[in-house]
Amino acid sequence: MTDSIAAVSLHGVTKRFGEDVVAVDDVDLEIRDGEFFSLLGPSGCGKTTTLRMIAGLEFPTDGSIEIYGEEMGISPPNKRPVNTVFQSYALFPHMNVEDNIGFGLRMQKIDPAEIRTKVGEAIELVQMTGMEKRRPNALSGGQQQRVALARALVNRPKVLLLDEPLGALDLKLRQTMQLELKDIQSEVGISFVYVTHDQEEALTMSDRIAVMNEGRMEQVGRSEDIYDSPGSLFVAGFVGDMCFLTAEVVEAGAVRLSGGEIVRARTSDAAGTSVTLALRPEMLHLYAEASEAPSGRNAVKGSIARSVFNGGTMFYEVDIGAGGSFDVRVENKPSMRRWDMGDSVVVDFHPEAATALAQ
Amino acid sequence: MTLHQGAVARPWVERILAINGWFVFAFLYLPIMVVVVFSFSGSSNVGIWGGFSLRWYDQMLGNQQLMNALKNSIVIALWSTVIATVLGTAAALSLDRYRRWVGRGAFDGLLYLPIIIPDVTMAVMLLLWFTQTGLVPLGRTSITLAHIAFNISFVAIVVRARLAHMDPEMEDAAADLYAGRWQAFRRVTLPLILPGVLGGALLALTLSLDDVVITSFVQGPGATTLPVYVFGLIRRSVTPEINAVSTFMIAISMVLVLGSLGFQRRSEKDD
């Protein structure tokens, strides 16, 4: 039964600041043992507050938080089996790398010889060997990030909390660190709870993602599910590129666009409901004639209104008259036909690629 | 730095600024130089050079009253500095870290009052308070309490400035890494605000050593400080001994100022 115990579980957790600010609103969440879990959302959505409540740096106004089945209540951060990597890293400027990493162990009154061994291992894990005596202000952003990670991991927490740890790094370094963090996570095998506003980062790194908006959980699921079948308009718009068309459900599995075209799509609403049809630009295909398009899918006629060269991809905006327009992204291959402004095209897509979402 | 390099150099502006610098420097230090030079004069006349001599220093050291006042000054300055530094630092911490205690807003505003109101007003208030309550007899204790009263504000302001640019995540991090509240303060907060605390303490020490107005109101018979004694000396008769005493006091101030600059340098390097 041990693997049925969640690493972290939140039951009806609400956090109010003062009278009228509700930062986190009645959140239920289960984070599994050993998974890389991301809290994703725009700034101010409550993701950092949620993380801080798990760490014990804030306490819920309502609801309860359990870590491996143990109710946390108002136990302070130093009594919880979790450690945090802070957004600003919060390395102690008056201590060198070694002393920063050993701080948590010293506070726990661990034997000095054991501290030395563990700190050495942690330094090796984050590849900072040779920098033991440096002060934080003599380190680059990426190195500070590694020290912050080692300082948290050296305590062998049951859960590691990370608050936008890569936010301050430039793009190249961020991408390297994303993969490295993922490797370190599978090496140490503990649950990581990762807060980010960067949807691409969340998709790249996470086993599962919780998308938050205005203090509420919009959707919780595997990265693929969040991307392929967004559960709400917010998630659809926040995660990845999406093109939206207004439509109305005609029957289960079919909607009518504003221009009158009927297309097959994934629906969950009753006939007559106004919906927004969400489509991934890379799941749309362009053909010159409807006859060229594979049968059994959707084919909507339109004309090229804009074409943008993006290097690896071509981006087209296809005007379909009263229905609005499709955003289409085509991979840039020699075999691909290039379209010009005004060309008549047929937009082809699989019914599974179109999700009808309640407005 | 790059900004300065990028600015267009205008030689005449630089020359005027340099001249101004020298002018300010002369304006500040020439009077001091005069006092220092004449403290080594052998003449009994304050303004006339009578050859190099240490006789006024000798007389200063032999002046029992003066030595007594000096001892008082040092004892009072040390006690008031230590106590005001502890209380002022605690006040700064409570104002910066704990946002929701009753009377915080009022205290925040009133903390600056001792700095703003004239010394004379403060002196009269303190004298009235001491005589009306009768809790403390006028003397070294009342002077020390008075100095603590105005020094707390200065220490609190300096420490708060330091706290203001300390990352609040530092304390979160300490707590997250198993430090209790006291350990977090002792191992993280205090070391980080130490330059501010020491800077505030040096300021308090200097202010206590320099104070004339408040001390002269709350002093008691037989217990006075050096600056107040010197002030009395001038009213009676002006002898070159004053120059020697002044030079001695300038030397003490210089040491304190250099010390405080040293701490500031160190704290800038840490950031």
Sequence-ordered strand ranges (E) for chain B = none
Do A36 and A130 lie in one domain? The reply is: yes
pLDDT digits (tens, 9 = 90+) for B33-58: 988 988 888 888 777 888 888 888 99
pLDDT digits (tens, 9 = 90+) for A83-121: 999 999 999 999 999 999 999 999 999 999 999 999 999
Do A134 and A274 lie in one domain? The reply is: no
Q: Measured between CB atoms, does A332 come within 8 Å of chain B?
A: no
Mean pLDDT for chain A? 92
Check residues A292 and B150 and name the one with the higher pLDDT.
B150
CA atoms within 13 A on the CB side of A264: 11
Check residues B260 and A325 and name the one with the higher pLDDT.
A325
What is the per-residue pLDDT for B268? Answer: 57
- Measure CB to CB from residue A77 to each of B176, B183, B270 and give the nearest one: B176
Whether B6 has a pLDDT exceeding 50, the answer reads no
- Which residue in chain A is spatially nearest to B267 when comparing CA positions? A94
CA–CA distance, A118 with A96 (Å, rounded to integer): 16
Which of A235, A253, A283 is the last residue before a domain boundary? A235
Do A276 and A154 lie in one domain? The reply is: no
Please indicate whether, in this complex, the C-beta atoms of A90 and B170 are within 8 angstroms of each other. yes
Q: Residue A4 — φ and ψ, nearest 5°?
A: -85, -15
Chain CA centroid to CA A76, Å: 28
What is the per-residue pLDDT for A191? Answer: 96
Please indicate whether, in this complex, the C-beta atoms of B169 and A104 are within 8 angstroms of each other. no
Residue B267 pLDDT grade (very low, low, confident, very high; cuts 50, 70, 90): low
Whether B7 has a pLDDT exceeding 80, the answer reads no
Structure-token pair, residue B125: 């208030």
CB atoms within 10 A of CB A27: 24
Q: What is the ipTM of this complex?
A: 0.83
Q: Measured between CB atoms, does A168 come within 8 Å of chain B?
A: no
Residue A76 pLDDT grade (very low, low, confident, very high; cuts 50, 70, 90): very high
Q: Residue A270 — φ and ψ, nearest 5°?
A: -70, 155
In chain A, which residues have their Cβ closer than 8 Å to the Cβ of B178? Answer: 78, 104, 107-108, 155
In chain A, which residues have their Cβ closer than 8 Å to the Cβ of B179? Answer: 78, 103, 107
Do A223 and A250 lie in one domain? The reply is: no
Helix ranges, chain A (H): 47-55, 97-107, 112-125, 141-153, 171-188, 199-205, 223-228, 233-238
Q: Which of A147-156, A261-270, B249-258 has maximum average pLDDT?
A: A147-156
CA–CA distance, A182 with A174 (Å, rounded to integer): 12
Residue A190 pLDDT grade (very low, low, confident, very high; cuts 50, 70, 90): very high
Considering the four listed CATH numbers 1.10.3720.10, 1.20.1250.20, 3.40.640.10, 3.10.20.310, the one that applies to the domain covering B55-270 is 1.10.3720.10
CA–CA distance, B53 with B47 (Å, rounded to integer): 15
Whether A2 has a pLDDT exceeding 80, the answer reads no
Sorted by where each begins, the domain ranges of chain B are 2-39, 55-270
Please indicate whether, in this complex, the C-beta atoms of B178 and A137 are within 8 angstroms of each other. no
What is the per-residue pLDDT for B270? Answer: 53
Task: Using a pLDDT cut of 90, give the percent of chain B over it.
Answer: 42
Cα distances (angstroms) measured from residue B19 to each of A317, B16, B215: 68, 5, 40
Mean pLDDT for chain B? 86
Do A147 and A215 lie in one domain? The reply is: yes
Average pLDDT of the segment spanning B179-204: 92
* Nearest chain A Cα distance for residue B177, angstroms: 4
The domain of A289 spans 241-358
The residues of B whose Cβ lies within 8 A of any Cβ of A are: 167, 169-170, 172-180, 183, 187-188, 191-192, 270-271
Q: Facing residues of A302 across strands? A: A345
Q: How many residue pairs from chains A and B have C-beta atoms closer than 8 A?
A: 66
Q: Measured between CB atoms, does A107 come within 8 Å of chain B?
A: yes
Whether A167 has a pLDDT exceeding 70, the answer reads yes
CATH of the domain at A333: 2.40.50.100
> Best interface-test mutation with B: which of A49, A51, A88 has the largest number of B CBs within 10 A?
A88
* Nearest chain A Cα distance for residue B173, angstroms: 6
- Which residue, among A189, A204, A59, has the nearest Cα to A125 in the 3D structure? A189
Let me know how long chain B is.
Answer: 271
- Measure CB to CB from residue A78 to each of B167, B179, B188 and give the nearest one: B179
Do A199 and A282 lie in one domain? The reply is: no
In chain B, which residues have their Cβ closer than 8 Å to the Cβ of A86? Answer: 169, 172-173
What is the per-residue pLDDT for A332? Answer: 87
Which of A195, A218, A235 is the last residue before a domain boundary? A235
In chain B, which residues have their Cβ closer than 8 Å to the Cβ of A57? Answer: 172, 175-176
What is the per-residue pLDDT for A87? Answer: 92
Average pLDDT of the segment spanning A206-222: 95
Strand-pair category, A243-251 with A254-257: antiparallel
> Best interface-test mutation with A: which of B99, B162, B171, B178 has the largest number of A CBs within 10 A?
B178
Strand-pair category, A274-279 with A243-251: antiparallel
What is the per-residue pLDDT for B264? Answer: 66
A9 Rama sector, left if φ>0, alpha if ψ -120 to 50, beta otherwise: beta
Do A214 and A279 lie in one domain? The reply is: no
Count how many domains chain A has. Answer: 2
What is the per-residue pLDDT for A213? Answer: 95
Q: Concatenated DSSP letters for A121-142?
A: HHHHHTT-TT-TT--GGGS-HH
Q: Measured between CB atoms, does A92 come within 8 Å of chain B?
A: yes
Task: Using a pLDDT cut of 90, give the percent of chain A over it.
Answer: 81
Whether B265 has a pLDDT exceeding 80, the answer reads no
pLDDT digits (tens, 9 = 90+) for B79-136: 999 999 999 999 999 888 877 777 777 888 888 888 889 999 999 999 999 999 988 8
Please indicate whether, in this complex, the C-beta atoms of A92 and B180 are within 8 angstroms of each other. no
Cβ partners under 8 Å of residue B251, min gap 6: none
What is the per-residue pLDDT for B242? Answer: 84
Q: Measured between CB atoms, does A94 come within 8 Å of chain B?
A: yes
What is the per-residue pLDDT for A208? Answer: 96
Cβ partners under 8 Å of residue A148, min gap 6: A85, A86, A89, A90, A91, A165
Stated as kind and residue range, the H or E segment containing A248 is strand A243-251
Chain CA centroid to CA A253, Å: 29
- Which residue in chain B is spatially nearest to A102 when comparing CA positions? B177
Do A309 and A281 lie in one domain? The reply is: yes
What is the per-residue pLDDT for B235? Answer: 81
Structure-token pair, residue A234: 């917010």
What is the per-residue pLDDT for B35? Answer: 87
Do A326 and A268 lie in one domain? The reply is: yes
What is the per-residue pLDDT for A257? Answer: 93
Which of A235, A270, A296 is the last residue before a domain boundary? A235
CATH of the domain at A9: 3.40.50.300
> Best interface-test mutation with B: which of A67, A74, A75, A78 has the largest number of B CBs within 10 A?
A78
* Nearest chain A Cα distance for residue B170, angstroms: 5
